[in-house]
């Protein structure tokens, strides 16, 4: 696992002894606490001030999170505080932000930053699951034909009943708002630079080992262990969803690059988006 802190947290949350069905929420809490502990560790800040370029996993996570917010001058930082206490959105819905970090500077000012923390054993994870009326209301979609096509996808649970012309029409009608659409899925907001901390502006994603046997009611030793991580700004994350490494627009998801699906029990009532 490469980290004594992660081993401590895996023990604290009793991951090895959890039943399979209840493990994902605990892993979410675990990695959020991990980010808080890493960001508040004064030793990581000391290393950064000394110009260290490599070190423990924790230092790498620390420095890459700050770099995602374009914080690269560590000399003026007095301290960093982090918290998982996140306010609700104005709609009373849950925030996409998981950790808020506050950076205090020696001249007395401070800055706050919102981080989305994800962990998964698979490449694509669910970011949003909403009914079409909510999607249209929050994104501001007034195109009734676009709404009708989205409703058809929702009701049919896929585009299986779409004609080739309808698929192309959906793609064309989404094109002018495709980036805002993806940004809303990822953050809950269409704004490019949101000031409200309920909307994250950077994402950290931890890759975990896949379980050996999903039918086993308990987790096997080594299942869900950390393997790697990545951090980037939301805008860079959106670029990775919508474009190939060569910069070519991805054709999937009607030009959004998202995977359109549904969760068990919500088929016909909501659309789920994965990225």
pLDDT at 214 over 70: no
What pLDDT shows up at residue 93? 65
Q: Give tens-digit pLDDT for 143-175.
A: 999 999 999 999 999 999 999 999 999 999 999
**Is the pLDDT reported for residue 35 higher than 60?**
yes
pLDDT per residue over 256-268, tens digit each?
A: 999 999 998 899 9
**pLDDT score at 82:** 98
Question: CA 146 to CA 169: how far, in whole Å?
Answer: 8
For range 27-46, the mean pLDDT: 97
Instruction: Supply the pTM of this predicted model.
Output: 0.94
Q: Say what the pLDDT of residue 211 is.
A: 85
What one-character DSSP code corresponds to residue 249?
Answer: B
Asked if pLDDT for residue 269 goes beyond 60, the answer is yes
Q: pLDDT value at position 222?
A: 83
**Predicted pLDDT of residue 212:** 77
pLDDT score at 72? 93
pLDDT at 52: 83
Tell me the β-bridge partners of 59: none
State the average pLDDT for the chain.
94
The average pLDDT across 21-37 equals 94
Q: Please tell me the predicted confidence (pLDDT) of residue 116.
A: 98
Domain parsing of the chain, residue ranges: 4-123+189-234, 126-185+251-274
Which distant-in-sequence residues (6+ apart) come within 8 Å of 237 by Cβ?
A: 186, 203, 275
Distance from chain centroid for Cα 235? 12
Alpha helices by DSSP H, listed for the chain, are 4-12, 23-40, 42-49, 57-68, 132-139, 144-156, 164-174, 178-187, 234-242
105 exposure class (CB count in 10 Å sphere: 0-12, 13-18, 19+): middle
Could you report the per-residue pLDDT of 44-95, keeping only the tens digit for each?
999 999 988 878 999 999 999 999 999 999 999 999 999 999 988 776 567 9
8 A C-beta contact, residue 84 and residue 98: yes
Query: What CATH number matches the domain at 4-123+189-234, 3.60.9.10, 3.30.420.40, 3.40.1350.40, 3.30.420.300?
Result: 3.40.1350.40
CA neighbor of 77 nearest in space, from 56, 102, 114: 102
Looking at the DSSP bridge assignments, the partners of residue 81 are 102
Does residue 86 sit in helix, strand or coil?
Answer: coil
Q: What is the pLDDT of residue 25?
A: 92
Return the pLDDT at 2.
80
Res 213 pLDDT > 70: no
Q: How far apart are the first and last CA of the chain?
A: 25
pLDDT for 153: 98
pLDDT at 221 over 80: no
């Amino acid at each position: 696992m490469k980290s004594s802190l992660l081993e401590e947290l895996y023990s604290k949350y009793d991951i090895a002894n959890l039943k399979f069905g209840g493990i994902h929420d605990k892993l979410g809490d675990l990695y959020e606490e991990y980010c808080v502990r890493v960001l508040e560790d004064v030793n990581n800040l000391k290393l950064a001030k000394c110009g260290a370029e490599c070190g423990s996993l924790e230092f790498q996570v620390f420095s890459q999170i700050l770099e995602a917010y374009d914080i690269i001058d560590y000399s003026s930082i007095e301290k960093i505080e982090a918290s998982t206490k996140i306010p609700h959105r104005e709609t009373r819905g849950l925030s996409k932000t998981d950790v808020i970090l506050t950076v205090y500077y020696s001249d007395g000012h401070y800055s706050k930053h919102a981080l989305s923390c994800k962990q998964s054993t698979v490449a694509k994870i669910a970011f949003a699951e909403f009914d079409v009326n909510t999607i249209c209301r929050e994104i501001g979609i007034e195109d009734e034909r676009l709404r009708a096509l989205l409703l058809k996808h929702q009701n049919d649970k896929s585009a299986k009943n779409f004609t080739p012309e309808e698929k192309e029409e959906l793609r064309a009608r989404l094109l002018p708002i495709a980036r805002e659409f993806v940004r809303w899925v990822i953050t809950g907001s269409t704004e490019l630079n949101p000031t409200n901390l309920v909307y994250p502006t950077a994402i950290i994603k931890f890759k975990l080992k896949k379980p050996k046997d999903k039918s086993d009611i308990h987790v096997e030793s080594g299942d869900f262990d950390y393997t790697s991580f990545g951090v980037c700004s939301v805008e860079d994350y959106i670029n990775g969803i919508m474009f190939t490494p060569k910069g070519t627009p991805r054709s999937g998801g009607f030009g959004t690059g998202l995977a359109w699906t549904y969760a068990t029990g919500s088929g016909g009532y909501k659309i789920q988006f994965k990225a």
